[in-house]
Structure 1
């Protein structure tokens, strides 16, 4: 890995992800969140010339970290379209899928992207720079009820209504155009001594709405059982409870709601068995090296033999 790739994104729980995938050198693997290529490069190094790696990333910046090889394919698309793009490549089944959800270090650190509460940047937050919806549009154009919904559902803010009302009131006199504008507008809403967490939750909520992250994750998860071979591995790393809840439900119960469905004989209907019952978390040492690892949770599941493809 080049020095620039290390700066772009430090791969979290790299060894644990590789172990979770249980790589077959001749197998076909997919990294749906390529980013800086840290996880992908490590997977690729374990493959033989017969093996194949397909990576997805909708951020044009990520393609700069790709490399040339006959058995490496970069797909410039959102991983919500996983199955379609694999079919276009002539791939019906794969041996393993890795998803490292959330925002890359590069996206956080690129000031003009507007993901970080540090500094002052345009309210953008698009992972795909060609997307039409921006954070600025949400903050300045969404109705109060819509703002309450995203702050309550995606930011898990207890004072979601107050935050939404404050934004609507502030934007009547002046448009809220930058990250600093937004934070200044919401200063009085921030709990004392917990302002950092509050603003992180506000930004998370807006970012999830901009990129439709929960919808994308739901669409991705429901496709994984259709493209993984029996015995194939699904390895997903999440960074907040909303993502982790969906991943947990799907791996444990076979649906996004976490409801138990059984057949006539009382067997639970689900496409996966969990490899680990509880999520794997990074070591304290890794968290000290890379602060962005601190909230990571890694879940691993094995594709069962009996599953009717849709």
Structure 2
């Protein structure tokens, strides 16, 4: 789908960040604009509570549903919030081929590119089929506990294996496609997608990758050895990560939103998920323009 397929949408979902003061007004603006078109509108219960219930029910096309089932009802989801909200909705979508369109109520907003003042214009373009669908690689992280228990996570940005605040230097063995790669000594290591190259990995000194590249990024966190540098790998690489350090507290953090403790004997397998994240992008705005805008380049 990447690079040019344009689609029109008839069933449109709305999910907003309930903690953002702008969300209520944003939802009202979206509902009012969408009501001008022959579309069905689905909003999750939590977002509907942000506005007066009468305003949701006064639109005959609006259906209020549970957030967990909303992706099953729609062709596209409008995400009102910041990148954190976007990542949360991306987990809801999971394997479903439902594209997301982010409207930025946050600060930086690499994933939620549409500014709040352009909501109405954005909806006009959406209905006219002017947005294109962009495939973004996603990580599948499989954690195999020493006792055999298996946990599966889906990461849009990154998985970070890092020491706890009070822990000392940790050692992490990394294999690539079954071959020993290296032992990272330092505060930890980040495995990021191209989309996540502008998130935690960037703050740790990693490079920026074009977001649709079939690649995987390995970035050390405060390495003890200065020759340890970020490494870009092919997207099909299977990384295997093991903790060598026994006496320190180490966490595995998924997209900065949830985490588990990593213990010696546990195994982490990181691969590209077969299910990409679908993001709607305005073809009139290039990724380079986004970089200039968000990172305050020249």
User: Normalized against structure 2, the TM-score is what?
Assistant: 0.31
Whichever structure has more helix as a proportion of its residues is 1
Whichever structure has more strand as a proportion of its residues is 2
